[in-house]
Amino acid sequence: MAITDYFKISGFLQDMKSRNLSLYGQWIGITCIFLSLALGIANLFHINVVFIFGIIAIVQSPILALVEIPFLLKIFRIPDSLISFIQQLDTNWMRALFYAVNAVIQWLSLTCMATSLLALAILYTINVFCYAGAAILGQEFHQSNVVATVHVSETPAEAQIRNVL
């Protein structure tokens, strides 16, 4: 099986043309994963209390990865309680609430000092508007078309064994 069996590059173009705000929110969320990790590390070196918000940003990054990239739940060993929490976030309103909490946390970092975490707070806020807008417009919650869903029955036996090893 080739990599194209698991990742459809044309799916990104389909996502952008779909005009579904939850898909836009998912792509902004994926951007937030990397930005959260990078800005969290960058803000660890402040002598001010801001380094606590840097640590929080670093912790937010893997949580966002599990929320926005669902196949990671199948790859890593994760407690069932965390999986059930993440599965509860599979609606537009719950994602909007999740990102609102993250945004408030990062906006609070401005009370200590204006840092690059402002960019993260802004992206979280944009994500709140994407998911809330999708819910208000009655758009269904969708996952991205980039990651193909491959069922075990469709996978050759050699690939199943490789996946286990």
pTM of the model: 0.78
pLDDT of residue 74: 78
Mean pLDDT of successive 10-residue segments in the chain (165 residues)? 56 65 87 94 88 93 88 82 87 93 94 91 95 90 60 46 51
Q: Domain-by-domain residue ranges, the chain?
A: 19-74+90-141
Burial class of residue 145 (count of CB atoms within 10 Å of its CB; 0-12, 13-18, 19+) = middle
Q: Is residue 21 within 8 Å of 130, Cβ to Cβ?
A: yes
pLDDT of residue 161: 46
- What would the two tokens of residue 43 be? 């803000």
Structure letter (DSSP) for residue 7: B
> Using N-to-C axis directions, what is the helix angle for 50-68 and 21-42, rounded to 10°?
140
pLDDT of residue 10: 60
C-beta atoms surrounding 24 within 10 Å: 20
pLDDT of residue 73: 79
